[in-house]
Amino acid sequence: MKEKFAVTWSGWKNEYGFLTAELQLSLAAAALLMVLLCSSSVTVLRNCQKIVLDIQLQDAARYMLNALEKDMGCDSLLISISKDYKGVDRIGCRTVFGGKSYLYTLENGGLYKQTQTAGTKGKNPLYVPDCLVTEWHVRKIDDKALQIEFTLQKNMRQKTFQRIFYCLNGQVTQDE
pLDDT of residue 41: 84
Residue 128 scores a pLDDT above 80: yes
Q: How far apart are CA 170 and CA 80, in angstroms?
A: 11
What type of residue is 161? F
Report the 10 Å Cβ neighbour count for 89: 20
Q: How far apart are CA 76 and CA 66, in angstroms?
A: 14
pLDDT of residue 5: 60
Q: How far apart are CA 68 and CA 48, in angstroms?
A: 30
CB 94 within 8 A of CB 76: yes
Q: Please choose, from the candidates 22, 171, 159, 35, the residue with its C-alpha nearest in 3D space to the C-alpha of residue 93.
A: 171
Tens digit of pLDDT for each residue in 27-81? 888 888 888 888 888 888 999 999 999 999 999 999 999 999 988 888 888 999 9
Residues 6 or more apart whose CB falls under 8 angstroms from that of 168 comprise 73, 74
pLDDT of residue 4: 62
Residues 6 or more apart whose CB falls under 8 angstroms from that of 172 comprise 79, 80, 81, 140, 141, 142, 143, 144, 145, 146
